[in-house]
Structure 1
Amino acid sequence: MNARASKKNESTSWYDHPQYFDMVFRDETADEVAFFQEVFEKYLTRPAKRLYEPGCGSGRLVAAMAAKGFDVVAVDNNAAMLAYLRRRLSRRGLDAELVLGDMTSHVCQPLVDAAFCTFNTFRHLTDGDSAERHLRSLARSLRRGGVYILGFHCIPLDADPNCTERWKAAHAGTQVSVTLRVIDFQRRRRLETLRVSIKATKPSGIIERIRSEFSLRLYTPTQAQKLLESVSDIFEIAGIYDFDCDIDQERKIDEDLTDAVFVLRKK
């Protein structure tokens, strides 16, 4: 077989390949960063200086906020992701506090002014106890009056469990195709299992294929509301938005809220 057309096949976690994970979502970064800054201006009573991202992944948002001059703390439980982020920050002459740790228990010291966790990272906490532990430890990381921007998909009662999404991305000559498919959906157990299939074609012509499966917790809008009510002693819902990240378009919790972004403020 021609070396330029050779193929490498493996079954592993796509989170161990930060470069591909990052390529898929990088186009969302500018809108999210602008939204974060609008949230800070609208909901904080003091300027935001120190930020925290639990479950930071490849760190696209960490690097973007550090480039804006913020002091950022980033926590993830995947060493490959943090190593990728460390190299990214170094290339750009940026700095952040990177912690290999658990988002259900980590507490920032000194405290932070705001935190953010978007695009379903929160749903990797697959049981209610873990979700609540995370929210309470996050609150311990925030100054009083600080905000937590928490975004995740909610599943309506009439949701089609046979969901497939596809993306394509390219960077530095590498072409990536990603297929995300729901392979198991258990509404009663509140779990769905997803399979991610990646085909990466490198400039050399070598093709790398990765297949990964993982579980996410299911939330209806009502279940999301009940979870947030369980921590109402420490958080208030200051604002609700969707993934359009439009600060002028507030939402409410109803069955149409499928792409939810909650702005939680520490009491």
Structure 2
Amino acid sequence: MTTPTNYYADLCTEMYEILHPTAPQDELAFYLSYAREGDRMLEPLCGSGRFLVPFLERGFNAAGMDSSAEMLVKLRVKAPEAEVECADLLTWTPKRTYDYVFITSGSMSLFTDPEACRRILEKTKAALAPEGVFVFEVDTVATSLPDDADWRTSVEVKTPEGFDLVLKSKNRWEGDTRIQYSPSIYELRREGEILKREPMDFQIRLYAPGEMEALLHEVGFGTVRTYGSYAKTPATGIEEMFLFECRV
């Protein structure tokens, strides 16, 4: 069976947990700044819970969703009572409305097809309560990477068991579509012997200034604020990420 694009499987999840055990404090503070006591909140693409768990620890009524069963296993270890659902955001149907929906860490950029992105924005808008807010971020064209002539080892870490976990990748930037292709291979090694190999078709859509704002207005968001930092400084168009605060 072919693994879906951008799917976080076993080895990818293991490396993610080692490299990103907790949320960066400035980013976490940014998303927490929109949380209000009593609001119902949702984090699509919650992964292993590095943002969702701090929300729950603070007593917020927050639920999560992710398509990676492997990532959700890690989340449930940290927060066994968490309300989480394993589902694909593209085919997910919201069962209720939310006062606050947030997608962290540039994960919206994982949806490289413009029509898929539009459907997600429309679905999220429909899931918002009348006074609700949708907050997310995307990576920008300023983060595009030079093409690689060959595979290269980009990350190498030790697992808790003492094995070597290695990530090899090969970047290719497609300027016309603004897609950064980074096919990857994860390898679990013991004294040089490969115990397990896991391919990943990783790609992200990078955004130019004004591009996402136009799409948000097209799908019906009336108020859109664009920030260039977690301190909520207005975007100037040269940042490596754009953050959006969207209301109907």
TM-score, with normalisation over the residues of structure 1? 0.73
CA contact 1:178–1:196 (8 Å) conserved in 2? no
2:77 is aligned to 87
**Taking every aligned residue pair, what percent have the same amino acid on both sides?**
22
81 and 253 in structure 1: CA distance in 2 versus 1, 3 angstrom threshold: same
The C-alpha deviation readout for 1:10-58, integer Å capped at 9, x for no partner, is xx97711223222222343433322222234xxxxx6453211111222
1:37 to 32, 44, 51: 32
CA contact 2:133–2:245 (8 Å) conserved in 1? yes
200 and 49 in structure 1: CA distance in 2 versus 1, 3 angstrom threshold: farther
What is the SS of the residue equivalent to 2:182?
strand
The structure with the largest helix share of the pair is 1
Runs of 5+ consecutive residues of structure 1 not aligned to the other structure: 1-11, 41-45
Number of residue-to-residue matches in the alignment? 237
The C-alpha deviation readout for 1:191-243, integer Å capped at 9, x for no partner, is 221134546678xx997654423222232223223322322x2342135232x
178 and 229 in structure 1: CA distance in 2 versus 1, 3 angstrom threshold: farther
134 and 141 in structure 1: CA distance in 2 versus 1, 3 angstrom threshold: same
What is the SS of the residue equivalent to 1:238?
strand
Aligned counterparts, 1:186-201, within 5 A: 186-198=174-186
Runs of 5+ consecutive residues of structure 2 not aligned to the other structure: none
1:241 is aligned to 228
2:240 is aligned to 258
48 and 182 in structure 1: CA distance in 2 versus 1, 3 angstrom threshold: farther
The C-alpha deviation readout for 1:107-131, integer Å capped at 9, x for no partner, is 4433222111122321221211110
CA contact 2:22–2:51 (8 Å) conserved in 1? no
Counterpart check, 1:26 vs 2:21: yes
176 and 226 in structure 1: CA distance in 2 versus 1, 3 angstrom threshold: farther
CA contact 1:150–1:263 (8 Å) conserved in 2? yes
1:161 is aligned to 146
CA contact 1:168–1:175 (8 Å) conserved in 2? no
Shift of 1:80: 2.0
Counterpart check, 1:49 vs 2:39: yes
CA contact 1:180–1:194 (8 Å) conserved in 2? no
Spell out structure 1 runs of 4+ moving beyond 4 A.
163-182, 197-202, 205-211
TM-score, with normalisation over the residues of structure 2? 0.78
CA contact 1:155–1:218 (8 Å) conserved in 2? yes
1:5 is aligned to none
1:77 partner amino acid: S
1:135 is aligned to 121
1:97 partner amino acid: E
